[in-house]
Amino acid sequence: MTSYSNKSVGAAYFFMLFSFIGVCGIQHFYLGNIWKGVVWLFTFGLLGVGLLWDLFTLPHQVRNL
C-alpha cells in the first residue's frame, strides 16, 4: 500500500535552506513534526548537527509522512 503526501521535498529543502539557514526548524513545522520543529527552534537546529542530519534525510522524512 502506498500513501501519498501533499508535501514536496523541494518545498521542505526550500524552508530548510532559506529560514535562517535551517536552524529555525520551519521545515519540520511544514512536515507536521511540531515537537521536532520546536526543538530545532530553541536549540538552533541542535547546534547545527541537526541541520546536517536534515540535509541528508529530508527526502526520507517527506516520504515517511
User: What is the value of pTM for the model shown?
Assistant: 0.79
pLDDT bucket at 56, cuts 50 / 70 / 90:
very high
Report percent pLDDT > 90 for the chain: 32
Q: Which three cell numbers stand for residue 23?
A: 536552524
Domain boundaries along the sequence of the chain:
9-63
Alpha-carbon distance values, 20 to 1, 5, 34, 37 (Å): 37, 26, 18, 14
Give the model confidence (pLDDT) of 4-27 as tens digits: 568 888 888 888 888 776 778 889
Give the model confidence (pLDDT) of 29-50 as tens digits: 999 999 999 999 999 888 889 8
